């Protein structure tokens, strides 16, 4: 469940303004960055993927690894629904079981309210693409 919530956390990481968004783990250590052009980088600034304005998530070779729909539905590369993120920040798996929360302040928590990481100033609906690159290896 924790891995899935981390997936949700990082699948939706957004593209904001002209600055780089920092992604931090529960210990406030930087684990990556999101550039305003949708480029996803690790903590060493190596490009590991992209998230497009249409919600398509791609790896560094531009192969599609997943999708996030405007309604909060999360799909894998084969368009199979693997989860949901609700307007209130509740994250659910494909069976509608609550597996975590993305709070307005950027804190991401699992179903037991344990903090997994931080994305300050990032809209919750964009809070997850990194998982494709960091937590599924």
Mean pLDDT of the 72-88 span: 86
CA–CA dist 124, 126 (Å, integer): 5
pTM flag (> 0.85): no
* Residue ranges in the chain assigned as alpha helix (H): 2-11, 130-134
CA–CA dist 132, 49 (Å, integer): 9
Q: What's the total number of domains in the chain?
A: 1
Mean pLDDT of the 107-132 span: 68
127 pLDDT higher than 50: yes
Confidence bin at 101 (pLDDT 50/70/90): confident
Full domain range(s) for residue 82: 2-134
Mean pLDDT of the 82-98 span: 85
């Amino acid at each position: 469940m924790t891995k899935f919530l981390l997936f949700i956390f990082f699948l939706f990481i957004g593209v904001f303004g002209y600055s780089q968004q920092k992604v931090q783990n529960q210990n406030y250590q930087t684990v990556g960055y999101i550039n305003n052009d949708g480029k996803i980088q690790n903590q060493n600034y190596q490009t590991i993927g992209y998230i497009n304005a249409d919600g398509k998530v791609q790896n560094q070779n531009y192969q599609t690894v997943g999708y996030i729909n405007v309604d909060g539905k999360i799909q894998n590369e084969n368009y199979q629904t693997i989860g949901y993120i609700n307007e209130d920040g509740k994250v659910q798996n494909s069976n509608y079981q609550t597996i975590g929360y993305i709070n307005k302040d950027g804190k991401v928590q699992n179903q037991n309210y344990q903090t997994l990481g931080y994305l300050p100033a990032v809209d919750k609906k964009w809070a997850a693409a990194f998982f494709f690159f960091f937590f599924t290896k």
